[in-house]
Amino acid sequence: MASLLAFCAVESSALAHGAAIVNDVTQINPIVVDRVLAPTTIGEIVNAVRSHRGPVSIGGGRFSQGGQTAIERALQIDMRQFDDVVAFSKERKEITVQSGITWRKIQEYIDPHDLSVQIMQTYANFTVGGSLSVNVHGRYVGQGPLVLSVRSIRIVLADGTLVEASPTKNSEIFYGAIGGYGAMGVIVEATLGLTDDVRVERRSLIMPVSAYRGFFSENIRDNSDVIFHNADIYPGAFDTVRATSYLKTEKPVTVESRLMPEDKGYWVDRMAFRIISEWPGGRAFRQHVLDPIVFRGERVEWRNYEASYDVRELEPVTRRTSTYALQEYFVPLDRFEEFVRAMAEILNRHEVNTINVSIRHAMQDPGTLLAWAKTEVFAFVLYYKQGTTGADREAVGVWTRELIDAATALGGAYYLPYQIHATERQFRAAYPHADAFFALKAKLDPTNKFRNKLWDAYCKRGSVCPPTRPVAKASIQQVPPIAPRIATAVQSVPGYKRDEVQTYLTLPEWLLVYYPGDYARFLKNRPASGFPYFGSIGQFWSCYWDTYRATRGKYPFNWGYHVMVLVIGSSYTVENGIKGAYENTVGRLTEWLAGHAITQEDALAADVAQDYVDFIRVEPWYEFSFIRALKQLWAETDLFGPGLLRKWERKLSLSAEYLVKAQYAMLIKIASKAAYGDAETETLALAGNVTTGALEGEAKVKVLERFEDGSVLLSLPRYEEFRDTLQRLVGKGVQLREIAGNDEILMTSVVPATWNYDLTAGSVLFEKPVLTDPRHKRLAVLAPVQSLHRILIELADREFEVEHIYDY
Ligand SMILES: Cc1cc2nc3c(=O)[nH]c(=O)nc-3n(C[C@H](O)[C@H](O)[C@H](O)COP(=O)(O)OP(=O)(O)OC[C@H]3O[C@@H](n4cnc5c(N)ncnc54)[C@H](O)[C@@H]3O)c2cc1C
């Protein structure tokens, strides 16, 4: 039994060869990309961009918080090792750097020359490329968006060309790429202006919010002695601010270090954030006890010291059940009070766990297409804590959209590096030059190669954006029959022929990858007791029965595989049967006793379910560490708290589940290593109309043989990549004639429940409702290989995703 299970495990292990999970600092946006490349030369970046056919996304420090650095199935170019200083001139106060460099590394380089970065964020961990693409700002008085300090950039465009851009040369690209969130290309180098490192003295004042604007215009705005300035509004009443400035001084420093020590411990800071965000009276404690201590006495330090904060000071022990997050809003100066009123009302009404709102100031943007400083503005940086479940995120979306409306109604904007909650209407209201931006993108990146979650949200097909889907509306032509001589020749190629019945028999196996995905999605915002455990058992067997019926009598009976499916199906049945019975009795009772509140343990279980799904798309399931999940359960959830009975019931039931699974996984791991070698990694196919252009950039597609009638024997990657590669090839006009010696292949697609199959080829083997989402159904289609291109194109035209093509 173990070896049969192991067989299944090996099969599943190869689902997504080379894939990786990219996440950001909040840990709530995991994205499975096909591959991550960490280049160290411009040549590597040019080659990757030029040769990669699928989507390309770009990662800097990964501190943006809504998937701005990745998209599913992309090649992610991780810039963090591309981080050298290219040129430096002390006289011109100028530095040229590779874009993966962090501010901190630049500071270490220029500090001995008594120079300082002109504009950057409060923290020094961000990369220059990520900062340019967001067009960030800091607390610098008389400055504004980062673009104001940029002399030029070099960028690799979608066709692999390397272009220099500045306010006077290729200025269209300069103003599109800065603030362009990686849409136009990979910024590889930047030349930035520097300024003198000076000693600064801190002054801090408390005042009513109503007095702040006057104070700012009289004392700060035009005062060239003020280097840094910001004002914190105390949340709750939102009527008091602490305005803190750092002024140039000749006094000796009271802080000796020129840069923030890298080995500084931050437990006090972290504890303070925890008290403020979680303890009753935490905010008042900050305002009346903590801050008066922090801001007491004279403090003189170097500008570089004040500019080299480390985000580690904010990092909580865990981000599993809750996470700190940021948002930012910008309004013209004279709308300050109106926005504060609206913001306070929204945050209080929604009981947002607001930790701080920091006010900053920025001069008008000189012309970037996605300028957030459309005029001179006050910025409101909102730091808050939120839960990580789906329901929590939806709740955040609601108040975020209200804040966005409040800012745009005043002629302002919201900031784009954070969670993507804005509707398209809101995005366009905040960024009125979006059309010009997308038009430039369409010109520079006509196949929409540079993608990420942000641009997939707002750069819609049908608007000025280029198409995003892999299959283009290629002409649908008839495929000529294969000449008998060629048919015989390919059949004898070693490894070509696979049993056609396998296209059916592998389907039930894959269901056991999709169902955990449904389960994880379900747990994000619904209680565990509501999951259709018995329904999914029934559906598994019903799908198996459909595939069995379709193969019965048509193919020889594959005993080994049927027994394997029976074994994995039985273990799925046992697991879900036990869980279903338990959740519908004990689970429901404790849920009810806890007043249907989500406990920390429920949230953790939802996270573990998602981690598991992300994991099995990339690795064999038995490698998943259930023991780590068990440790997290006991380390990251409190022993006491609301819904105590539910808490402990979950602790014990989840512990039992993780322990049993850990033992089982260990057994399968041992058995699979002993019983099976590596799974095959390629599928051979005979195709027509294979042009040179069609194969360009398809690194994993090999031409094995060309025949006189134009047919080509191709080697294609297997599993998920098989689907993606076929979609791309078909989009470029390639037509399949035979796959692995077979003329029929099964595929599944998740489509709207109301859609009736009306494609011009293929027949429906079964359709089953997605039990956790009644608006959709899963459709299994039997496709004649020679019509596969037609079916893929027609599905893409309807914008339906192909879930899988079962390559035997
Ligand atoms: C704790 C904290 C404090 C912050 N404080 C501030 C602040 O004071 N002021 C402020 O303005 N913002 C602030 N931010 C937001 C922050 O500046 C942005 O998230 C910024 O993008 C982070 O830089 P990064 O290197 O992590 O970029 P990433 O998050 O890695 O990337 C951001 C975007 O840039 C693109 N990109 C990255 N590198 C390149 C490249 N070489 N070429 C083309 N595109 C690229 C990515 O695709 C992505 O779309 C803060 C964020 C956090 C988490």
How far is the centre of ligand 1, averaged over its atoms, from the C-alpha of 61 (Å)? 7
Among 36, 56, 105, 121, say which to mutate for ligand 1: greatest number of ligand atoms within 8 Å of CB: 121
> If you take atom 9 of ligand 1, which residue's CA is the nearest one?
121
How far is the centre of ligand 1, averaged over its atoms, from the C-alpha of 127 (Å)? 7
How far is the centre of ligand 1, averaged over its atoms, from the C-alpha of 264 (Å)? 23
Mean pLDDT of 219-233: 97
Among 102, 136, 311, 330, say which to mutate for ligand 1: greatest number of ligand atoms within 8 Å of CB: 136
> If you take atom 12 of ligand 1, which residue's CA is the nearest one?
136
299, 377, 486, 721, 785 from 733: Cα distances, Å: 69, 51, 21, 18, 15
How far is the centre of ligand 1, averaged over its atoms, from the C-alpha of 106 (Å)? 16
- Please report the DSSP string for 708-722 in residue order: TTS-EEEEEE-HHHH
Residue showing tokens 């961990």: 125
The first and second tokens of residue 639, run together, are: 């022993």
Measured between alpha carbons, how far is 391 from 354 in angstroms, rounded to an integer? 18
pLDDT at 693: 85
Q: What atom of ligand 1 comes closest to residue 128's alpha carbon?
A: 25
Angle value at C-alpha 566, between 560 and 568, nearest 5 degrees: 105
**Contact of 62 with 129, CB cutoff 8 Å:** no
Give which of 132, 99, 60, 112 is closest to 304, Cα–Cα.
Answer: 112
Mean pLDDT of 56-73: 94
Q: What atom of ligand 1 comes closest to residue 122's alpha carbon?
A: 8
DSSP at 465:
B
Does the structure show a pLDDT above 60 at 473? no
Q: Is the dihedral of CA 625, 630, 634, 640 positive or negative?
A: positive
How far is the centre of ligand 1, averaged over its atoms, from the C-alpha of 384 (Å)? 18
> If you take atom 6 of ligand 1, which residue's CA is the nearest one?
121
SS3 content of the chain, % helix, strand, coil (to 5): 40, 20, 35
pLDDT digits (tens, 9 = 90+) for 295-343: 999 999 999 999 999 998 888 767 777 889 999 999 999 999 999 999 9
Q: What atom of ligand 1 comes closest to residue 134's alpha carbon?
A: 21
How far is the centre of ligand 1, averaged over its atoms, from the C-alpha of 416 (Å)? 10
Does the structure show a pLDDT above 70 at 678? no
Does the structure show a pLDDT above 80 at 86? yes
Q: What atom of ligand 1 comes closest to residue 139's alpha carbon?
A: 8
> If you take atom 31 of ligand 1, which residue's CA is the nearest one?
130
155, 162, 243, 374, 428 from 159: Cα distances, Å: 11, 9, 49, 32, 28
How far is the centre of ligand 1, averaged over its atoms, from the C-alpha of 64 (Å)? 5
The Cβ-side half-sphere exposure at 142, using a 13 Å CA radius, reads 10
Mean pLDDT of 115-143: 98
Does the structure show a pLDDT above 60 at 12? no
> If you take atom 10 of ligand 1, which residue's CA is the nearest one?
136
16, 103, 105, 427 from 109: Cα distances, Å: 41, 10, 6, 39
**Contact of 67 with 32, CB cutoff 8 Å:** no
**Contact of 118 with 94, CB cutoff 8 Å:** no
58, 244, 422, 425 from 459: Cα distances, Å: 17, 40, 13, 12
Q: Indicate the residue type of 61.
A: G
pLDDT at 268: 82
302, 309, 735 from 305: Cα distances, Å: 5, 8, 62
The first and second tokens of residue 435, run together, are: 């059309």
pTM: 0.68
How far is the centre of ligand 1, averaged over its atoms, from the C-alpha of 327 (Å)? 13
Q: What atom of ligand 1 comes closest to residue 69's alpha carbon?
A: 47
> If you take atom 44 of ligand 1, which residue's CA is the nearest one?
182
Tell which phi-psi region holds residue 185, choosing left (phi > 0), alpha (psi between -120 and 50) or beta. left
Q: What atom of ligand 1 comes closest to residue 155's alpha carbon?
A: 42
pLDDT at 736: 94
Above pLDDT 90, what percent of the chain? 70
The residue with greater pLDDT, 402 or 801, is 402
Does the structure show a pLDDT above 80 at 273? yes
Q: What atom of ligand 1 comes closest to residue 102's alpha carbon?
A: 25
pLDDT digits (tens, 9 = 90+) for 492-521: 898 899 999 999 999 998 898 889 989 998
> If you take atom 21 of ligand 1, which residue's CA is the nearest one?
130
Mean pLDDT of 604-627: 86
How far is the centre of ligand 1, averaged over its atoms, from the C-alpha of 69 (Å)? 9
Measured between alpha carbons, how far is 225 from 141 in angstroms, rounded to an integer? 9
Comparing 193-207, 718-732, 739-753, the range with the smallest average pLDDT is: 718-732
Angle value at C-alpha 153, between 45 and 29, nearest 5 degrees: 60
pLDDT at 677: 54
> If you take atom 46 of ligand 1, which residue's CA is the nearest one?
69
How far is the centre of ligand 1, averaged over its atoms, from the C-alpha of 129 (Å)? 8
Does the structure show a pLDDT above 60 at 463? no
> If you take atom 39 of ligand 1, which residue's CA is the nearest one?
129
**Contact of 122 with 244, CB cutoff 8 Å:** no
Q: Where are the alpha helices (DSSP H) in 617-743?
A: 626-636, 644-675, 692-695, 719-731
Q: What atom of ligand 1 comes closest to residue 25's alpha carbon?
A: 53
Ligand 1 neighbours (beta carbon < 6 A): 25, 57-64, 68-69, 79, 99, 121-123, 126-127, 129-131, 133-134, 136-138, 181-182, 186-187, 311, 314, 326, 417, 452
Q: What atom of ligand 1 comes closest to residue 62's alpha carbon?
A: 30
* Residues 6 or more apart whose Cβ sits within 8 Å of residue 416: 68, 134, 181, 370, 372, 454
Measured between alpha carbons, how far is 204 from 594 in angstroms, rounded to an integer? 46
**Contact of 363 with 144, CB cutoff 8 Å:** yes
The Cβ-side half-sphere exposure at 215, using a 13 Å CA radius, reads 17
10, 170, 327, 354, 570 from 337: Cα distances, Å: 62, 40, 19, 19, 64
> If you take atom 37 of ligand 1, which residue's CA is the nearest one?
130
57, 80, 713, 734, 736 from 727: Cα distances, Å: 20, 32, 17, 10, 11
How far is the centre of ligand 1, averaged over its atoms, from the C-alpha of 164 (Å)? 22
Does the structure show a pLDDT above 80 at 14? no
Q: What atom of ligand 1 comes closest to residue 60's alpha carbon?
A: 30
pLDDT at 255: 97
Among 63, 103, 106, 313, say which to mutate for ligand 1: greatest number of ligand atoms within 8 Å of CB: 63
> If you take atom 7 of ligand 1, which residue's CA is the nearest one?
121
697, 713, 790, 792, 794 from 690: Cα distances, Å: 13, 10, 16, 17, 20
Report CA Rg, the chain. 29
Q: Is the dihedral of CA 759, 690, 696, 11 positive or negative?
A: positive
Measured between alpha carbons, how far is 105 from 84 in angstroms, rounded to an integer? 9
Mean pLDDT of 440-454: 92
164 three-class SS:
strand
Angle value at C-alpha 27, between 26 and 31, nearest 5 degrees: 120
pLDDT digits (tens, 9 = 90+) for 402-429: 999 999 999 999 999 999 999 988 999 9
The first and second tokens of residue 2, run together, are: 């173990």
How far is the centre of ligand 1, averaged over its atoms, from the C-alpha of 134 (Å)? 6
Please, which residues bridge with residue 738 across strands?
686
How many CB atoms are located within 10 Å of the residue 789 CB? 29
132, 140, 148, 327, 370 from 145: Cα distances, Å: 9, 10, 6, 16, 11
Does the structure show a pLDDT above 70 at 3? no
Does the structure show a pLDDT above 60 at 468? no
In which band, very low, low, confident or very high, does the pLDDT at 675 lie, cut at 50, 70 and 90?
Answer: low
The mean pLDDT of the chain is 91
pLDDT digits (tens, 9 = 90+) for 643-660: 899 999 999 999 999 999
pLDDT at 204: 97
Does the structure show a pLDDT above 80 at 469? no
How far is the centre of ligand 1, averaged over its atoms, from the C-alpha of 326 (Å)? 12
Among 40, 42, 99, 127, say which to mutate for ligand 1: greatest number of ligand atoms within 8 Å of CB: 127
